Structure 1
Amino acid sequence: MSGNFGQDDGFFQGDYGSQQGGYDMPYAQSGNDFGNFDYSQGGMGTAPPNQGFNQPFSAGNVPYTGNILTPEHNSFVQQPISDEDDYENEPPLLEELGINFDHIYQKTLAVLNPLKATEQDAVADSDLAGPLVFCMMFGATLLLAGKIHFGYIYGLGVVGSLGMYTLLNLMSLTGVSVTCVISVLGYCLLPMVLLSTAAILTVLTGLVGTVLTGLTVVWCSFSASKLFVSALQMEGQQVLIAYPCALVYAVFALLTVF
């Protein structure tokens, strides 16, 4: 059995002899040769010289030097700890989430005592955890009084916050963020929570209730205007800020009384 492959096909010419287990397949000298192997008898072959089969093992033609486990190449050697990996000195999780109990305590005291001075850092902190808690408390006390007004509370809170945000940006030179406005208005809702708690025990439609409601609105608006003045450095404009704040808290007072 024999076969010939021409050079025009780009392959080799082979002569399949009848020798036992042997092949005599000389390669054609063409530009598309796949190799220069000479398969001798017995099915064994030898590689021609300069083919790289007898070269010593190397990686990237660089001989192995045996330094892979030295200390400078050992991956188990302890590396110096960077600032990003210093887990012991990381701040607490609540502080990373923006919940600072010290600032919450200071702002709550500033609302309960409007005449007390408050640090500017605590006022400028746009904390939303306290306002959310006070809104839930306000809705819960109204629920105990037989009034389900959670939707009104959040709806009026959003509308009032957007209105105050627009007004304060027009009045102040530094500008204010919407989260700061929501934080201040939410904290100053605490006196309204006390009024809704009183509504559980008594009816606020009488003279005493009307006076108590008016004082609560003044209390909330005065505390909110003081915090806005401290945060935005708007000295001498507290009265101008207190008036729109009183309009916002008056709506919440109507929800409490009626």
Structure 2
Amino acid sequence: MAAKSAGGFWSKFRNVTQPETAAGFDDSGADFYQSNYDVGDQGGQQGGYSYGGDVTGDHFNDPHGGGPYTGQIFQPQQTYTPCSSQCSSSFDDEPPLLDELGVNFQQIWQKTLTVLHPMKAADGCVMNETDLAGPVVFCLAFGATLLLAGKIQFGYVYMISVLGCAGMYALLNLMSAATGGVSFGCVASVLGYCLLPMVILSSCGVFVSLRSVFGAMLATTILGWCSFSASKIFISVLGMDGQQPLVAYPCALLYGVFALISVF
């Protein structure tokens, strides 16, 4: 009974709603927007709107006034000019990194040989160039050999080096005022290279005790070696003939402090 009553209800519902739906559809058709669009109108004007260019061909007009674009849509045309060989970014024409940093191993070797041979004449042109690569290496080697001997003196080495370079720079400029003076970088470079014999002294302190007669004699020899080499280079750079003892004395005072650090 329930199934029959349900079937009858739905049949009556369809009979009532179907005519209303059809009638509503017929009435709504009258409210559709009547457009004047013509299928044959394929030009720049479509539906009252202007596209500002020709869109029917194989190219499009540039809206910025640059002329027509002649390339295909899926095959764009190359619009840039390749760089010529003159502006090529090749690394072959660039100088080596060590030259840009100012590291010249040939000059470092020449200055080292000048220090190791005290009787050899110093080349003033080579020694006048500011080169701090070698002095930094020798200062680090001096501090490292002191560390191997059980002496942590990096702070003293740094402080004495800066103060010594500043004092020698002022003194040499006062003594060579007539020749034009010397730069601070040149003074630091010469004093740093002449520290190499002191590295030998601190290296000997790693294996033997320098608090003896042998250590005193060795320290005195190294001290004279450093002072003589530094004064010889300063004399050749500044052209101060006959004034080497005056320059060697302050150099001996500076290197004497390093000798005391190495011995004690």
Q: 1:58 to 1:134 in 2, by over 3 A?
A: closer
After TM superposition, the score normalised by the length of structure 1 is: 0.70
Q: Percent identity?
A: 50
In the alignment, does 2:256 pair up with 1:250? Answer: yes
- For residues 158-173 of structure 1, the aligned pairs below 5 Å read 158-172=162-176, 173=179
Give the distance between the partners of 1:58 and 1:217, measured in 2 at CA: 83
Aligned residues: 214
The counterpart of 1:110, out of the listed 111, 114, 118, is 114
Identify the residue that residue 5 of structure 1 maps to in structure 2. Answer: none
Identify the residue that residue 216 of structure 2 maps to in structure 1. Answer: 210
Q: 1:132 to 1:43 in 2, by over 3 A?
A: farther
CA deviation after TM superposition for structure 1 residue 59, in Å: 4.2
Letter in 1 for 2:148: L
In the alignment, does 2:190 pair up with 1:184? Answer: yes
Q: 1:197 to 1:58 in 2, by over 3 A?
A: closer
Cα pair 1:106 1:118 within 8 Å, conserved: no
CA deviation after TM superposition for structure 1 residue 151, in Å: 1.6
Q: 1:21 to 1:143 in 2, by over 3 A?
A: same
Identify the residue that residue 137 of structure 1 maps to in structure 2. Answer: 141
Give the distance between the partners of 1:66 and 1:120, measured in 2 at CA: 69
Cα pair 2:226 2:255 within 8 Å, conserved: yes
Give the distance between the partners of 1:120 and 1:43, measured in 2 at CA: 97
Identify the residue that residue 154 of structure 1 maps to in structure 2. Answer: 158
Q: Which moved more, 1:222-231 or 1:172-181?
A: 172-181
Identify the residue that residue 12 of structure 1 maps to in structure 2. Answer: none
Identify the residue that residue 26 of structure 1 maps to in structure 2. Answer: none
Give the distance between the partners of 2:216 and 2:91, measured in 1 at CA: 56
Give the distance between the partners of 2:219 and 2:205, measured in 1 at CA: 10
Identify the residue that residue 226 of structure 2 maps to in structure 1. Answer: 220
Structure 2 unaligned blocks of 5 or more: 1-29, 38-46, 55-60
Q: 1:99 to 1:165 in 2, by over 3 A?
A: same
Give the distance between the partners of 1:54 and 1:204, measured in 2 at CA: 96
Q: Which has the larger radius of gyration?
A: 2
Give the distance between the partners of 1:198 and 1:236, measured in 2 at CA: 34
Please state whether the residue corresponding to 2:191 is helix, strand or coil.
helix
The counterpart of 2:98, out of the listed 66, 81, 94, is 94
Give the distance between the partners of 1:216 and 1:124, measured in 2 at CA: 24
Aligned-residue CA RMSD (Å): 2.9
Give the distance between the partners of 1:43 and 1:170, measured in 2 at CA: 101
After TM superposition, the score normalised by the length of structure 2 is: 0.68
Cα pair 2:115 2:193 within 8 Å, conserved: yes
- Structure 1 residue ranges (4+ consecutive) displaced by more than 4 angstroms after TM superposition: 19-22, 52-56, 65-70
Give the distance between the partners of 2:197 and 2:220, measured in 1 at CA: 11
Please state whether the residue corresponding to 2:68 is helix, strand or coil.
coil
Cα pair 1:165 1:178 within 8 Å, conserved: yes
Identify the residue that residue 16 of structure 2 maps to in structure 1. Answer: none
- Name which structure has the greater RCO, CA cutoff 8 Å, separation 6+: 2
CA deviation after TM superposition for structure 1 residue 208, in Å: 3.6
Identify the residue that residue 13 of structure 1 maps to in structure 2. Answer: none
Q: 1:109 to 1:21 in 2, by over 3 A?
A: same
The counterpart of 2:84, out of the listed 52, 55, 79, is 79
